[in-house]
Structure 1
Amino acid sequence: MPQFVRQSLLIQLLSVYLLFIIVVLLGGVGVDTVVERQLQNDAQASELALAQDIALDTSQQIHDAESALVALSNLALQSPSSDTTATIFHIFQSIHSDVDHVYWLDPVGNLRGIWPQDNLGVGSEFSPTQIVDLARMATGPVFEVGIAVETTFNAGVIIAEPMRTSDGRLVGIVADSLSLVGLSTPLTKILPDLLI
Structure 2
Amino acid sequence: MRGRSAVGVALPVLLAVALMGCQASANGGSEDDPPGGEGSTSASAMRPSGFGAVFLTVDECSSFGTSSFTEVSCTSERAAARVVARHDGRVSEGPACPATTDFVLHISEQRPSHDEDGDGAIPQGYACMRKLQPPHPGDPGGGGGPRTIVGDCVYDSGDGQVRETACNGRGKQQPEYEVTEAVTTRGDCPASTALYVELGGENPVGCARPW
TM-score (norm 2): 0.30
Which structure dedicates a bigger proportion of its chain to helix? Answer: 1
Q: Structure 1 length as normaliser, TM-score?
A: 0.32
Which is bigger in relative contact order (C-alpha 8 A, separation at least 6)?
2
